[in-house]
Amino acid sequence: MSKTIPILLFDSLSYVRCEAGPLIKKVRKMVQRFILLIITCIVCIFFSCRKDRRVKPATTLPKTSTEIYADSVFYVQNSNDYFINPVITGQGTFTSFPDGLNIDNNTGLINVNKSETGLKYKITFTPAGSGSVLTSYIVISGINYSDKIYNLSLGDSIAVPVYNADHNLALPGTNNGNSFDQSGGCKNAGIVVGSTNGTINLAQTIKNQVIDTGSTAQVKLVYSIADNSNKAPNGLEVKIYFYRTVSQIPQYLTDLINQRKTTILTSGMPPLVNAPATRLTLNSLAVHSSTIVRSRPPCIVVVSR
């Protein structure tokens, strides 16, 4: 009897193991599959998040001048009118800044020969209805002079022309056909202008006035440059103010110089000079959007000391 019981127990345990073996294997496979499924989900979520982080939102590239007009610099021509059309299509409104550009606000048509030259203009096209506003810059070729106070006692006695609204550009053709003050208007007003380079000798100009305080007459400086204009006649109004000291400069001229800093668009930086400090006030620094600050003539103010 005692020998029979162990044998029965052994047979019973073997039977249980035999019966439970397939079940354990089945459960083990299920657990493995479940773990593999979880790992797969985690990996998918991980790479999905990485992909989302790599996707950058769509950006609008800066608009260039060629997106509104075919070029960025336009030259006066030997004709009464010279028109350029925008290259974009669609209805909308065209605006420009600063003043001086002869532009049709409905069509964008620009009359180059009737515009103030030597200035950079910001052109904005606002489409009718929906659509993105386009902004670009163009230059009407020519010269301008910096709006500033020149101090003769510090050797700041020459006004150098700024070509194509860029202080870094050299004036072309200075030894090959440029001609300044062709009509003699500046000479008759006592303004001394270099015949080939357009520089204004302020010290000599002041001597020619024979008065201590005042201004020259406003006259037109007629010139032609050996560039892509093919020496077509060009010009700008010139007027020079002169005073003995900075304290004598009227407030309206100080205000005008400060306002021109935000209205005259240029590239590069003007050369640094030992210019006298100007009287800056809250009123002189404020630029009111309702007030149109004319871009011409350039505000050239000369002091003796």
Q: Averaged over 108-134, what is the pLDDT?
A: 95
What is the number of structural domains in the chain? Answer: 3
The pLDDT value recorded for residue 66 is 46
Percent over 70 (pLDDT), the chain = 71
More confident residue, 250 or 67: 250
Q: Tell which residue, 270, 299, 8, has the closest CA to residue 160.
A: 270
Average pLDDT score, the chain: 81
DSSP three-state, residue 88: coil
Same domain for 50 and 101? no
Structure tokens at 256: 């005008």
The pLDDT value recorded for residue 135 is 95
* Range in 61-70, 126-135, 172-181 with the lowest mean pLDDT: 61-70
**Could you read off the pLDDT of 147-165 as tens digits, one per residue?**
999 999 999 999 999 999 9
Same domain for 155 and 248? yes
Q: Which CATH number fits the domain that encloses residue 118?
A: 2.60.40
Same domain for 258 and 210? yes
**Could you read off the pLDDT of 46-91 as tens digits, one per residue?**
555 444 433 333 333 344 434 899 999 999 999 999 999 999 988 9
Same domain for 77 and 226? no
Final residue of a domain: which of 110, 140, 170?
Answer: 140
12 lies in which domain range? Answer: 1-57
More confident residue, 231 or 130: 231
Q: Could you tell me if 262 and 209 are in contact, meaning their C-beta atoms sit under 8 angstroms apart?
A: no
Q: Averaged over 187-216, what is the pLDDT?
A: 92
Do the strands 83-84 and 73-74 form a parallel or antiparallel pair, or are they unpaired? unpaired
The pLDDT value recorded for residue 46 is 56
Same domain for 285 and 169? yes
DSSP three-state, residue 46: helix
Confidence of residue 174 (pLDDT cuts 50, 70, 90): confident
